[in-house]
Structure 1
């Protein structure tokens, strides 16, 4: 099979269908010295295969029609761009003008040329190929309908090029002609008659090219003056890194720089964290410092902490309660503690006089601090796995601390330090048993308590441990039947029907007795004694959220314990670990968050629930 590379001028293309219409012409001899007459190109059958780089193992589509004309071979091709990702990439090459056409044919009538090569007068077209390295010097995609609108276009000798492209072409031809002239006069001998003729012809060509180039430049200047601005397209570049990655990078750079923002900027540049992280580090202002070598500064990168808080919220019990009331922190809210009363009176009898009592509900300003320790080697690693590990650990340590304080009934709170649990002071009753009947009895008491206190159960939700939810979901309805074995003995066998006692709940949540279920492994209890089961009226809970602050240190000594015992006021012997000595970095997350309930009756707690 013979091949010939030709100019491909795309006239139009259909983005949705993958169809382009173009003119494939062969106006001159290609680099291997061959010429194919366009009018002599025929095909036995249509469609003809459209290949990639003449590789029969890489089909790109089909040639739907072909029409020989005086200007070239008009072809309508369909690229099967949806067949595979590889073929789709071929379509992108066509649109970008990065490929040309190559004709694969079988010669039918041909004759040798005097300068070498062959003149093919009649050929049978076997296939067309999209190629990236043409053998023909003019083989390239000159323009496309989609991409030519931004530049003025004129037509020269059947070709369609922008003025800038024509100037480049003619400048190249001029340089080639000057090169011929220089080669003739620098060979060290006078010119022969033929060489003199060649020199004068090249000289004339250069003069003609100079004149035409000036004309093109003048035309370009005129069109530039009358040109209208092209309608621009807004391009938005979005980072595809996982949410919270920039916050983690900020934290890592700050930790490695010992809390110094300027050093952190250089650290971020060195680790390639990107412009966004560098910008926030440059804008970071220390909110407070100490003279000790502990936690050197408090930084609040407002641009990125929102991302971290968004990642933190789905992990919190209080954030899963979608109907809580969001209020500012450090406020007082008046509330009525006792109401007025009315009584029936008889004729001539006095009416009773009563009054209402009021009090204040105070919501403080509390902050939670959690410390996570990482090795310096881990923080210096910038691959996604290391960043995800830091991010997830920061989320876990913060979420666990908040959840434990929120739901553990023994947390009575500390004035000015932390809020009391919503379950602290709530009505509590131990689980009455382990059976489904005991479950229903316990739920009935919880609902009755809420109704008696005039609490709106429509906004209530159950908070439980996943183990409790799993146990409830596995309960099935039993029934019994009797089989007469003989006239004396009757065997009674109890089997399960397979019908679930509480079909709305599963180990992933759902609904329980008509109310939504919120799951958390931080619900107090254990597998042996059972877990708490809490009924909370959501719109009776007031929630105030603040920002996020980051501290970092490499010189501190820490008590590596979840419940540290040493105290600066009353020192207690404890085993401390030096971060500097162990090559570690401590990151402290400070999260502003607090809550309270409007009334204690908003929460009902079932303790030691071990249903089975």
Structure 2
């Protein structure tokens, strides 16, 4: 997101060409303006010629302007206001603008720009290090204290030079800051010089340094304007100033001297209190509302929660709403109205509770809970296929007939006029039906009512980790056999393991790897789709193997995976002493893509990981149950629907009882 702003900055008219209506001056400097902002001149980008506008109104162009090369001190410019002979609105506008500038009524300019790079200053301002300027405007009063205009008209001499250093309260900077109303009454006649009263009225707050400077500058501008008027009047009447005019002029001049001294002291104090800018966190400002909030000292909208957290928050709100008989949106508003307002909107838009009848409300774009699936996938062996440099499994839909290969077909070279040999591929027919991995996580109502991030994380992790563990073990554990209508068999189940070397050192590792890759290639598996799957323990052991020079024997592997003999590695905490080499393309995988969740505060549960309950059993099995109502607990049931199968048995090669890195046992 970018911001569009205005910077009322230094404008010194160095020359005025009456015949061509050319004005030269300074468009911007690195000085701090009245709202505390700084525009770095060397970071300004522009494309000449630019539009020269009247009071920042894009509907009132008055000419064109060209910027000179930026310097560290500022950017000079040359603007031209055209001379129009044809009567009409345009002529009236440009003539008014030229006359206002020429006689000193309008003595400042302001750049309109788009922020590209910026950082925040702790005192509330913004340092714009890179900007794109797209227009320059003639304005009545600038916001920058260094804005100095010296205008020479046809009937003016050096005595009529006016200096303006004030803040335009009528046209505030784009940040939204406005200056206080200033006393702009002309100076009074007489020799007595009154100090400028900056004391606040009763029941008002003390003025800040910036406000005091603004008030003094406004008073100074009023005095300077009145002095110019006195001199202009005598010139227009072709006479010298009378005594009263001289006294008033001298009084105003002395007041300006006094104000200049006070301004110098206040600016020194302001400079001493200035704090250098601190960098903006990357992507901190995402909307115009964020920028406005920061400039006005308000907090930013809360950041989006981590993946999976919103899913856990929804589940908590559902539990409390069910337990307390409150509307779901009211619970969400009470718990997360400030920290996660998007969740409240999701809850209000939801049609029904989180059940399998409304999966889209959980995982689709409407519900916003796809982040839980994204949180879960990297935790599983299945989820890491197809990420980074790891080949993907072959995705197939549920309940679609699939042809598996039980033996390979072959072809032969054939001479001219010779018969072509026949070949027959052994084939099998199968399909992947939807099967479910389920877990029930029990939490106390006290934890559910806690809206702290730590309680959200506990619920998210308890649901995700249980599913991840069962998914990994079922997918890769060679002892996990298929159960019709319940679960698929492991991709290693039914495949004979390769005999390991029983060696413990690096040479033994190489010997075992050679055997595994040899079997994998002999089965016509493509190495480019080969993926190692092993436990974190053996990944660590391989990392710790060093050669005699103290260098790692297998530098590619890490605890997060990496590569092993130039093939990608997937690491799981749930594997034991076996390593597999998997042809990802030859593994079918069907996934519904989401997570279903239901909850209860009244159910009675077997608090074990292998429950004996079976609704289809003729005789129920007696077991000890725990009441959620009696223990003031909430049970969340999470289910994931998926299935997998090997396209052919030789799609994997694996080795059991590996001894890599085992300590040497001395007889």
TM normalised by structure 2 equals 0.55
User: Secondary structure of 1:247's match?
Assistant: helix
Q: Does the 8 A contact of 1:261 with 1:282 survive in 2?
A: no
Pair 1:284–1:341, CA change in 2 (3 A):
same
- Match of 1:270? 334
- Aligned to 1:377, the other structure's residue is in SS state helix
Corresponding residue for residue 237 of structure 2: none
Q: Residue 509 and residue 335 in structure 1: after superposition, are their counterparts in 2 closer, same or farther (change >3 A)?
A: closer
CA drift of 1:576 comes to 2.4
Deviations 1:58-91 (A, max 9, x none): 99999979xxx966997999xxx97863156266
Q: How far is the alpha carbon of 1:506 from its aligned partner?
A: 2.7
Rg larger for: 1
| Pair 239,324 (structure 1): closer, same or farther in 2 beyond 3 Å | farther
Q: 1:600 aligns with which of 639, 646, 649?
A: 649
- Over aligned residue pairs, what C-alpha RMSD do you find? 4.9
- Measure, in 2, the Cα distance between the counterparts of 1:341 and 1:543: 27
2:556 aligned residue: 504
| Residue matched to 2:152 | none
In the alignment, structure 1 residue 555 sits paired with structure 2 residue 602? yes
The CA distance in 2 between the partners of 1:561 and 1:400, in whole Å, is 16
**What per-residue deviation string (whole Å, max 9, x for no partner) do you get for residues 539-586 of structure 1?**
111111113211001111222223334545254443322211221111
Quote how far apart the aligned CAs of 1:112 are.
Answer: 5.6
In structure 2, which of residues 1, 6, 10 is the aligned counterpart of residue 21 of structure 1? 10
Alpha-carbon offset, residue 429 of structure 1: 2.8
Correspondence 1:531-546 to 2 at 5 A: 531-546=577-592
Per the alignment, residue 138 of structure 2 pairs with none
Partner of 1:550, secondary structure, is strand
Gaps of 5+ in 2: 13-28, 42-71, 75-102, 112-116, 129-142, 145-172, 183-188, 198-206, 219-223, 226-285, 291-300, 387-391, 662-667
CA distance in 1, matches of 2:73, 2:489: 77
Tell me, in whole angstroms, the C-alpha distance in 1 between the residues paired with 2:513 and 2:311. Answer: 43
Mapped contact 1:461–1:535 kept (Cα < 8 A): yes
For the residues of structure 1 that align with 2:527 and 2:553, how far apart are their CA atoms? 22
TM (norm. structure 1) is 0.59
Count matched residues: 430
The alpha carbon displacement at 1:497 in A equals: 2.8
Could you tell me which residue of structure 2 aligns to residue 216 of structure 1? none
Distance in 2 separating the partners of 1:236 and 1:333? 54
Provide the residue aligned with 2:321 in structure 1.
257
1:98 to 177, 180, 183: 177
* Cα-to-partner distance string for 1:127-164 (whole Å, 9 max, x where unaligned): xx984545877988xxxxxxxxxxxxxxxx99xxxxxx
Q: Distance in 2 between matches of 1:378 and 1:590?
A: 22
Pick closer, same or farther for the CA change 1:22–1:603 going to 2, 3 Å: same
The residue number in structure 1 matching 2:305 is 242
What displacement does 1:368 show?
1.4
- Matched residue SS, 1:241: coil
SS in 2 for 1:410: coil
Change (3 A) 1:343 1:52: closer
2:545 maps to 1:475: yes
Q: Residues 355 and 372 from structure 1, CA distance in 2 versus in 1: closer, same or farther, beyond 3 angstroms?
A: same
Q: Distance in 1 between matches of 2:555 and 2:632?
A: 53
Per-residue deviation at 1:476?
2.3
**Residue 313 of structure 1 corresponds to which residue in structure 2?**
377
1:362 aligned residue: 431
Of the three residues 434, 442, 458, the one matched with 1:389 is 458
For 1:133 and 1:589, how far apart are their aligned partners in 2?
60
- Whether contact under 8 Å (1:367, 1:592) holds in the other structure is yes
Equivalence map 1:573-588=2 (5 Å): 573-588=622-637
Please show how residues 47-196 of structure 1 align to structure 2 within 5 Å. Answer: 85-87=121-123, 89=125, 95=173, 96=175, 98=177, 100=179, 113=192, 117=195, 131=209, 133-134=211-212
- CA contact under 8 A between 1:369 and 1:589: conserved in structure 2? yes
Q: SS where residue 363 of structure 1 aligns?
A: coil
Counterparts in 2 of 1:510 and 1:134: CA distance versus 1, 3 Å: same
Distance verdict in 2 for CA 1:247–1:261, change over 3 Å: farther
| Displacement after TM superposition at 1:352 (Å) | 7.7
Residue deviations 1:410-459, cap 9 Å, x none?
11121111111111112313432222222122111211211221111211
User: For 1:467-522, what per-residue CA distance to the aligned partner results, in whole angstroms no more than 9, with x for missing partners?
Assistant: 10111122223xxxxxxxxxxxxxxxxxx332332222233321111211111101
Between Structure 1 and Structure 2, which shows a larger proportion of strand residues? Answer: 1
Identify which of 555, 561, 567 aligns with 1:515.
567
Matched, 1:448 2:448: no
Residues 53 and 130 in structure 1, CA contact (< 8 A), matched pair in contact too: no
Task: State the structure with bigger RCO (CA 8 A, min sep 6), 1 or 2.
Answer: 1
| Distance of 1:314 and 1:267 partners within structure 2 | 31
Report the equivalent of 1:327. Answer: 396
**In structure 1, C-alpha distance between the alignment counterparts of 2:424 and 2:40, rounded to whole Å:** 89
Shift in CA distance, 328/353, structure 1 to aligned 2, threshold 3 Å: closer
Structure 1 residue matching 2:454: 3-state secondary structure:
helix
Residues 1:401 and 2:470 are matched in the alignment: yes
1:378 paired residue number = 447
Distance change >3 Å, CA 259–CA 283, structure 1 → 2: farther
Find the residue that maps to 1:417 and give its secondary structure: coil
Question: C-alpha separation between the residues in 1 aligned to 2:336 and 2:411?
Answer: 74
C-alpha deviation, 1:257, in angstroms: 2.4
Preserved contact between residue 99 and residue 130 of structure 1 (Cα < 8 Å): no
User: How far off is 1:392 after superposition?
Assistant: 2.4
Deviation at 1:362, TM superposition (A): 1.9
C-alpha distance in structure 1 between counterparts of 2:442 and 2:342, whole Å: 25
Give the secondary structure class of the aligned counterpart of 1:516. strand
CA distance 1:408–1:70, change in 2 (3 Å): same
> Contact between 2:405 and 2:647, CA under 8 Å: does it hold in 1?
no
Task: Give the structure 1 partner of residue 508 of structure 2.
Answer: 438
Asked if the contact 1:555–1:579 (Cα under 8 Å) also holds between the matched residues in 2, the reply is: yes
Distance (Å, rounded) in 2 between the aligned partners of 1:337 and 1:53: 78
Distance in 1, matches of 2:358 and 2:322, equals: 9
Indicate if the aligned counterparts of 2:543 and 2:558 stay in contact, CA closer than 8 A.
yes
Q: For residues 131 and 595 of structure 1, what CA distance do their matches in structure 2 show? A: 71
Paired residue for 2:527? 457
Give the Cα–Cα distance (whole angstroms) in 2 for the partners of residues 374 and 363 of structure 1. Answer: 34
